[in-house]
Chains A and B, each alone.
Chain A
Amino acid sequence: MKRSRMHSSRYALQEESDLMDQKPISMREAIGNALIEMGSTNKDLMVVGADTTESLHLMPFGEKYPGRLVNIGIAEQNMIGISSGLALSGKTVFCGTYMVFIERALDQIRNTLAYCKLNVKIIGAHTGISVGPDGGSHQTIEDIAMMRALANMRVLVPSDAYTARRLAIEAANEKGPFYIRLIRGTVPDVHGDQEIKIGKSSTLKDGKDVSIIACGIMVHEALKAAEMLSKEGISARVIDCYSIKPIDEETVLKAANETKGIVTAEDHNIYGGLGSAVAELLSRKRPTRIEMVAVNDTFGESGNPSELMIKYGISAQNIFDKAKELVK
């Protein structure tokens, strides 16, 4: 597949083909790099961080553009409030830290960003059980539900550095609030040159028997599960649903029409996340059998990401089992 297609964008960006040859980088680094590139043409682009600017790869933005990175210390409510003030003064703001900390600012997010449709993009880093050793206190599994329930808020979940970069650029080009959910680890890029658009999805593998609709790190588990299924003669479609709100209705409905059932997969609580979003859509428009691979309404604990994902039932094996049941 040729990878040099330029995406339509207000910003002139590095050829994505150049990026594809490099070894994988984290989603955080991909967004940090995209911010630096966008910042040279968009002088009103600003970044607000909360004592995690190095971890989130936001520091280089501040080094490159003095005064345009505001580090407000460990004070997430203030981070959202200051971001709002900047946005109300015409700035495009990316603010971010670990999502589990940002959740304490739900009031500020609701009553400023969402209520007034402010031009602030929240980068929520280190989400899900796959955060690993920091333990359950740091593994947010309710964030998609919280953000998705806010009017005006759009929710994006990249699955690799490529989608993280593309989605950050898309969000910057679109006025209004966004939540961009990142995982902690570094994963291989699984996208070719697919166009990444708000409200769309990527079908990474076509299939006719069952559809797996996944987001974030679970896209990688879904691809593994599809391999396992194909060995058993089951053809699984894998859809990377990186835009959870708005969701790609057309592709989800098509999957429901063309395959025998749907397995959703997310590193998030079973309530209110991707599975719910898919179920809400299909129950209204085309009732379909759905199985959900998600954290079963419990908090996590310390451990390695892969062992935790097995323990909490969000591994490729879980997707495989549920998909098999659906086609039985």
Chain B
Amino acid sequence: MQAKQFIKNLFGAGKKAGIEDMEVFIQGNSILELMVFQGEIDKFSKAEEKGLSFRGIYEGKMGYSYTEKIDEASIEFLVNDVISNTKIIDSDEQETIFKGSDHYNEVNTFNLELEQTPIDKKIEFIKLIEKEALSLDDRVESINYCIYGDQSRENMIVNTKGLNLESKINSAYMYISVVVKDDNDIKTAFRYKLYTDFNKFDYKAIAKDVVEEALSLLGAESIKSDNYPVILRNNVAAVILDGFSGIFSADNVQKSLSLLKGKLNQKIASERITIVDDPFMEDGTETKSFDSEGFATKFKKVINKGVLATYLHNSKTAKKDGVQSTGNAFKSSYKAPITIAPTNMYIEKGNKELDEMVKEMQNGLLIIDVQGVNSGLNPISGDFSLAATGYEIKEGKINRSVSNITIAGNLFELLNDVEDIGNDLVFLMPSNGYIGSPSLKIKSLSVAGE
């Protein structure tokens, strides 16, 4: 059935059942993934998926339902489900259906050239990078993952208050993980690249980078447990910021789930720290002109020179705080209810090269990778303890590689202990590339090792 006709029928059935305002959110994804192993396409995956989320206000409360089967039979299910879901909701916070903003910024999020790139070119690229990485050094034992994927996503919001918005975004990614081995040790390193422009994938540069990093880690050993000055390389700082990004959500603040409660306009970080939420960033994976409720998105500084400037709001939390929505309503998929998330959020870069930061630190650790974010980082308490890999820095130079250690601290102390910021802002995995950071020099972190 055509989407338009389906929506019309659904709204009709909903109205008949007594649902006042209604909204439909349709998401369509087209997905390709290729995995190469020893020169052959080992896995090939392709999908067209579509899902529809329906929400509506029944007796003053908002109910949600969704379906992946868009047929006449689903209409009754959706309507009944929304009503039965409102009946058990007893939250005092009223959600509303939005008629639309007066103005939406124009954003360019669809790369036609990527869409038109033939699959043979993608296969060629992913085979080339595997071959290149294997050829660079005899110690490259295997390439355990070598994956290319791209995705094109269409979102549509239509409601009974007259809102009708559409967006289309596409991007491509590649992931390579190499295993290197010598007589005594085995190590891995990975790279994840995400671009909207296929031409930006430089297979030689990526292969060289990942193989060199893996080789540099061979023979890494632990280090004495102590407090050390630490540089968190850009990718590591981004992972930590991502793990804690929920603390900025006004929803978490209002529910006493964020330690930023009551901290608005107060200094919570070193004055060197400015955190930006930019929905209009070029090539951003969360670049968009409207959020999941149909509100126009906004550029904002969340932390301005160390001072907490705003929380991130959707319409519900904004109403409760008596402020305007910041356009951060978010639906992770058609299955999810509306929550709050950043758009493209990053720590503003400084002006130092990483090399310079290493030189100036003199003695300490440069951390290049962390593991265990899901269990080792507690967004409520701010505490973190993560498995880490990196280099020992002695007299301003890399002395040796270090592994089998953990770094531990508390986010709120860490934000105050930032002593220097690199010029190497990067957006990274996980989080689909919408959280970014440059490298950060931290006064001191607890390191557990020998």
* Same assembly: no
B interface residues with partner A (beta carbon < 8 Å): none
